[in-house]
Chain A
Amino acid sequence: MITDPGLFLNAVVAGILLGGFYAAVALGLSIAFGQLDIVNIAHPAFIIIGSYFAYYFGAHYGFDPVFTGILMTPFFFVLGMVVYRIYYVSFERTGQESLSGLAFFFGLMFIIEVVLIMIYGVDYRLVPASYIGMNWKIGLVDFPLRMAVPFVVSMVMTISLYLFLSRTFIGRAILAVSQDRQALQLMGANPIRIKQIAFGLALATASIAGALLIIIGPVEPSINREYIGRVFAIVVLGGMGSITGTVLAAFILGIAESFVSTFAGPSWAPAVAFGILLVTLAVRPSGILGRAS
């Protein structure tokens, strides 16, 4: 069946669309983990919060999910600054990141999940949007809009972020803070302040990623766990914090998952990310674009 050209081509296209969406999901972690060295395992949980905002505003006011996603970015930005402040004061300043910091985010993830379950239950929620059921067909290949719209939004967000990081003062300061804190301080920037802004930015991407997630399919609180493996696999495979690497790794994962779902069955798909992650850690922990250490 792998010889069927239609099936094969569709698997490739579906994988690229999925990978584009995964880039949006992993971007925030790429900044937090790759650049700032903050192991935010709660990132997918914050994304689910974004999905529920999209659900709430969609169900009550008829807002488009992408619009809600953009609307809520300031809220997530401030939330990120607050979370970083707590993280910095409690763990980073005292050198407790490795054990207590990890446990902190783990607990946070758990709290978010349980609070969402207490408010909305474990039922799947979805958003109404006219394009969700639509499908373009070009030749043999399907372009379902529920996948294509997230792909486009994600690419726009990724490119904007890339330009922001490479062209603006704050963006460059964020890239610098992971390389040399002291040099940054000498240039007149406060590294803590910069990290706080960067973490705010990382969470702001979760607002949009969450909206995209609920466009792709219905969402319930505990699906964040499936994404933990995916985002970490992407960030590690992409070489920790490089945006180009993150996008490339997201496409690799998207295509790999699409092939496994098509040819082995969807129930095997969750293992793909973790398989990639374990192999990367064992063979080349610096990622595809990272320098070998």
Chain B
Amino acid sequence: MKGWGFWIFVALALAAGFVFTRVSNNEYYFFASYIVLQSLIMATAWNILGGFTGYVNFGSAGFFAVGAYTTIALQKYLRSLGFDAPLPVFIVAAAAIGGLIGLGAGYLTLRLRGVYFAIATLALAIVAQTFISNWDYVGAAKGAYILTPDPPPLFSSYVKYLFMTMLVLGLLALAISRYITQSKFGRGLAAVRDDEVAAECMGVPTLRLKLISATVMGALMGVAGAPYPFFVTFVDPLSAFQLNIAVNSIAMPMIGGTAFWYGPLVGALLLGTAQEVISVTISSEINVLLVGVVLVSFVILAPKGLVGLFSDLWRRGKRDG
């Protein structure tokens, strides 16, 4: 998808999503699509650092939960002042806080080898969870309820509005990711992934590039978490810091192909849809097991993901034919 193709895709997706909210009244579809879109944003965000630079973030669930709890804390605070802020306010606030945490974690560890960053993100998620489990203002370990506001005009229910918001955010995440791969910045990141020392020697400002991608990653993950409290109406630390979210954010780009901006899209659509179908038809445990098995199989058998696999086959086909 080059140039106009991508923007036509975005316009079509938005139009299709909007028509969907007008014609369908089965709430389940919106719930299921919301989850898939949430995974898409998380996977795309993870890939901006993990896929493009090779620095693995295991703490995705932490960034997500920080986004969700930003909404809860801010809403409670604003209500105590007598304000009722619209959803975009929370999304922007969550982006700012997620981005700052990404930058901070990156600043502490991105100068070290990649594995330290991986462990530090895991650490960060647990520190955040401990902190929130002890923070009474947001309900501590007991969790917090949040009131769902009335749906804005044009939408007949709030979940439809949330679905449309997530669609916009998902497309935005894809657009950012696509912009990064196609810019000079993205080529710098690819150089970091392939050989960081060589890149540094060639004058690529590797630390600055890594810090920018860590910030973008953190911000997008915060964004993915911000609408979550309105979606589930009750949030506690256990549900916000699910390991599922961390695993999905890694598995989806790995399955799709980490070197491509549309890799997480392919992974999220396939794995996300499969998960929804399986947890409805078989059981949610099998569904969780599936993610683990698929992740391990893919990293062993197809480390470049589906996109990489098919482009290799395509190239081989062209050469032979």
A100 nearest CB neighbor, chain B only: B299
A236 contacts chain B at the CB level, 8 A cutoff: yes
**CB neighbours of B126 from chain A (8 A):** 225-226, 229, 270-271, 274
Tell whether A275 pairs with B119 under 8 Å between CB atoms, given A99-B258, A104-B300: no
A152 contacts chain B at the CB level, 8 A cutoff: no
- Interface residue from A90, A222, A271, A275 paired with B299 (Cβ < 8 Å): A90
Is the Cβ of A275 less than 8 Å from the Cβ of B118? no
Main secondary structure of the interface of A (DSSP, over half): helix
B17 contacts chain A at the CB level, 8 A cutoff: no
Tell whether A110 pairs with B123 under 8 Å between CB atoms, given A99-B258, A104-B300, A285-B112: no
B96 contacts chain A at the CB level, 8 A cutoff: no
A232 contacts chain B at the CB level, 8 A cutoff: yes
A110 nearest CB neighbor, chain B only: B292
- Interface residue from B50, B120, B243, B254 paired with A110 (Cβ < 8 Å): B243
Task: Provide the B41-62 mask, 1 if CB < 8 A to any CB of A, else 0.
Answer: 0000000001000101010000
Is the Cβ of B123 less than 8 Å from the Cβ of A278? yes
Q: What are 28 sample pairs from A and B whose C-beta atoms fall under 8 A apart? A: A41-B118, A96-B303, A100-B299, A103-B56, A103-B299, A104-B299, A106-B58, A107-B299, A108-B296, A111-B292, A111-B293, A114-B292, A117-B285, A118-B289, A228-B122, A229-B126, A267-B130, A267-B133, A267-B141, A268-B130, A271-B131, A274-B124, A274-B130, A275-B127, A278-B120, A278-B127, A281-B108, A281-B109
Closest 8 CB pairs of A and B: A274-B123, A107-B295, A110-B292, A107-B296, A271-B130, A111-B292, A100-B299, A90-B300
Is the Cβ of A110 less than 8 Å from the Cβ of B115? no
**CB neighbours of B254 from chain A (8 A):** 100, 103
Chain A interfacial residues counted at CB < 8 A:
44
**CB neighbours of B131 from chain A (8 A):** 271
**CB neighbours of B293 from chain A (8 A):** 107, 111
A82 contacts chain B at the CB level, 8 A cutoff: no
Chain B 270-313 residues near chain A, CB threshold 8 A: 285, 288-289, 291-293, 295-296, 299-300, 303
B25 contacts chain A at the CB level, 8 A cutoff: no
A282 contacts chain B at the CB level, 8 A cutoff: yes
Is the Cβ of A102 less than 8 Å from the Cβ of B118? yes
A98 contacts chain B at the CB level, 8 A cutoff: yes
Is the Cβ of A268 less than 8 Å from the Cβ of B134? yes
**CB neighbours of B119 from chain A (8 A):** 39, 41, 232, 236, 277, 281
Chain A 211-264 residues near chain B, CB threshold 8 A: 222, 225-226, 228-229, 232-233, 236
Is the Cβ of B123 less than 8 Å from the Cβ of A229? yes
Task: Provide the A101-125 mask, 1 if CB < 8 A to any CB of B, else 0.
Answer: 1111011101101110110000000
Q: Which of B120, B133, B300 has the most CB of A within 10 A?
A: B300
Give A residues with C-beta under 8 Å from B.
39, 41, 86, 90-91, 94, 96, 98-104, 106-108, 110-111, 113-115, 117-118, 222, 225-226, 228-229, 232-233, 236, 267-268, 270-271, 273-275, 277-278, 281-282, 285
**CB neighbours of A108 from chain B (8 A):** 292, 296
Task: Provide the B205-231 mask, 1 if CB < 8 A to any CB of A, else 0.
Answer: 000000000000000000000000000
B139 contacts chain A at the CB level, 8 A cutoff: no
Tell whether A115 pairs with B289 under 8 Å between CB atoms, given A104-B299, A268-B134, A277-B119: yes
Give B residues with C-beta under 8 Å from A.
50, 54, 56, 58, 108-109, 112, 114-116, 118-120, 122-124, 126-127, 129-131, 133-134, 141, 243, 247, 250-251, 254, 258, 285, 288-289, 291-293, 295-296, 299-300, 303
Tell whether A229 pairs with B108 under 8 Å between CB atoms, given A86-B300, A103-B295, A108-B296: no
A106 to B: closest C-beta gap in Å: 6
- Interface residue from B115, B129, B247 paired with A106 (Cβ < 8 Å): B247
**CB neighbours of A271 from chain B (8 A):** 126-127, 130-131
Is the Cβ of B122 less than 8 Å from the Cβ of A229? yes
A155 to B: closest C-beta gap in Å: 27
A108 nearest CB neighbor, chain B only: B296
**CB neighbours of A39 from chain B (8 A):** 115, 118-119
Q: Which of B115, B243, B247 has the most CB of A within 10 A?
A: B115
B247 nearest CB neighbor, chain A only: A110
- Interface residue from A90, A225, A232, A267 paired with B134 (Cβ < 8 Å): A267
